[in-house]
Structure 1
Amino acid sequence: MKETGVAEVEQSAKMTARRQAMLDAAAAVIFEVGYERASLAAIVRRSGGSLSTLYQLFGSKEGLFEAMIADRCACIMAELSSPDLSARGARAVLLAVGHAFMRVLLTPDAQALWRMVMSEGIKFPRLPQIFFSSGPDRLHARLAEYLYGLDQAGCARVPEPLPTAKAFCILVHGDLYNRVVSGVRSPPEPAELSAYIERAVDMFCLIIQLAPAGEAGDGRILDRW
């Protein structure tokens, strides 16, 4: 009985590894040639798996594509879910989120993913839906919850937390990200990026009328983040 259980665990681990290898291969191939020109044969060759396993795990090319987008979005957004911000004031929290957000957005993987969403989304309308639900929507919801806490504590004025959270993200990435992702300019040096984020956060703090007490922080509010 014990041997059977060990065998099942090993088989499950192997299948998980094969699945991840196929997702990584799909990302590499699709980022190189686009969704339409990417062939399952090329993905299988790069992953070292088999076509039958690919169909077993994902069902189709579209299923693989969707799983790859969800996987990449999860990886890209992971950093935004992990910082230990509970001991910081509100402005420091917003700065930390802004820095994490831009570090993620400016990675080559994230830029390639966004370009692909833009180029393939017209032909495959579900792609943008998957991208937003797996990435930006989760960040917006999390940030909206935090802003709601500030509003309820009287530290800031945030009558509409979700639209305000979206506005924060737009303000932080702004023109800089659009120019980098479109290839108009190179990614900023750390000092330039830091100054850019500080200006955006300070502007946002004025918009939400963050009180000095809110800047200093309230442990009960920050714990909600």
Structure 2
Amino acid sequence: MQSLEQNTSQPTVSYDAKAEQIVAAAREVFLELGYAATSMDQVAQQARVSKTTLYTRFPSKEELYTAVISAECERRGLRFQPEMFDGLPLRDILVQVGRRFVDLLWSDAAIRVHQAVVGEATRMPVAAQLYFQAGPEQGIANFIALFTRLNDRGLIATDDPAFVARQFLATMQGGAYCQLMLGLCAEPTEEERYAFVEKAVDLFLRGVAPATP
């Protein structure tokens, strides 16, 4: 098996229709079985492609898993460029990116993947590493870049944009997230998710200090 260092890079394959078909099938298999129990043969069968077609696009299970996590983040709008928000008021920017983050984080698929990764982490640490590198690590980097740009534009004032970005993401992990992770509540509606985001953003912007006269 190739080393983890070789397998954690983002796949360079272009996402043609066949590759998208494979990723969609792999998503379902990984969700059902987890990383450890999933085989490339099972993915090929689910995608209805030959193993040659599968391995031509994704030479290893590690690369395929990374592609699945990355594709889900891309689909949810979390692979954004910071400059795309130039010209918008600060609150509007934070609400937009907060909604994207919560839409992914609180989704049934994301909850199930996170639960599976945590369950497998001790006996299959490679799955946890791949998940972190393809998902959270990339997402954190994007938010750090965004808050750095906000600071450069004078919309926020901080000497540590990375800390502020991480605190913002931590704020978005409140609300129903803990209950969702434990299977104690149903997935909130879009209206409920977005109401939470707006309240969380307002608290983040104001803090809890009393208003000065």
TM class by smaller structure: 0.7 to 0.9
Runs of 4+ in 1 over 4 A off after TM superposition: 152-155
SS, match of residue 21 in structure 2: helix
Does the CA contact (< 8 Å) of 2:66 and 2:134 recur in 1?
A: no
Residue 130 of structure 2: aligned partner: 130
> For residues 148 and 61 of structure 1, what CA distance do their matches in structure 2 show?
35
Distance 1:202 1:90 in 2: 11
Quote how far apart the aligned CAs of 1:31 are. Answer: 0.9
Aligned to 1:115: 115
TM-score, scaled relative to structure 2: 0.74
Aligned with 1:186: secondary structure? coil
- CA deviation after TM superposition for structure 1 residue 48, in Å: 1.2
Q: Which has the higher helix share?
A: 1
Shift of 1:150: 4.0
User: Could you tell me which residue of structure 1 aligns to residue 10 of structure 2?
Assistant: none
CA distance in 1, matches of 2:191, 2:18: 41
State the TM-score, normalized to the length of structure 1: 0.71
Q: How far does residue 41 in structure 1 lie from its aligned partner after superposition?
A: 3.0
Describe the superposition over 1:19-57 as per-residue Cα deviations: whole angstroms up to 9, x where unpaired.
Answer: 322222222112112223323332222211112333333
**In structure 1, C-alpha distance between the alignment counterparts of 2:93 and 2:70, rounded to whole Å:** 27
- Name the % identity: 27
CA contact (8 A) 1:31 1:113 kept: yes
**Given the superposition, is the C-alpha separation of residues 34 and 79 from structure 1 closer, same or farther in structure 2, using an over 3 Å criterion?**
closer
Deviations 1:29-88 (A, max 9, x none): 121122233233322222111123333333343443333333334334x35627963332
> How many residue pairs end up in the alignment?
196
Larger Rg: 1
For 1:65, give the aligned amino acid.
Answer: Y
CA contact (8 A) 2:66 2:130 kept: yes
Residues 202-221 of structure 1 aligned to structure 2 (within 5 Å): 202-207=202-207
- Indicate if the aligned counterparts of 1:117 and 1:131 stay in contact, CA closer than 8 A: yes
* 8 Å contact from structure 2 (residues 19, 57) kept in 1: yes
Q: How does 1:66-77 map to 2 (within 5 A)?
A: 66-76=66-76
- Does the 8 Å CA contact 2:147/2:161 hold for their aligned counterparts? yes
Q: Unaligned 5+ residue runs, structure 1?
A: 1-11, 210-225
Structure 2 match to 1:45: 45
CA distance in 2, matches of 1:208, 1:137: 29
Instruction: Let me know the Cα RMSD of the aligned residues.
Output: 3.1
Report what 1:174 is aligned to: 174
Q: 2-side partners of 1:168 and 1:181: how far apart?
A: 20
Q: Indicate the SS of the match to 1:36.
A: helix
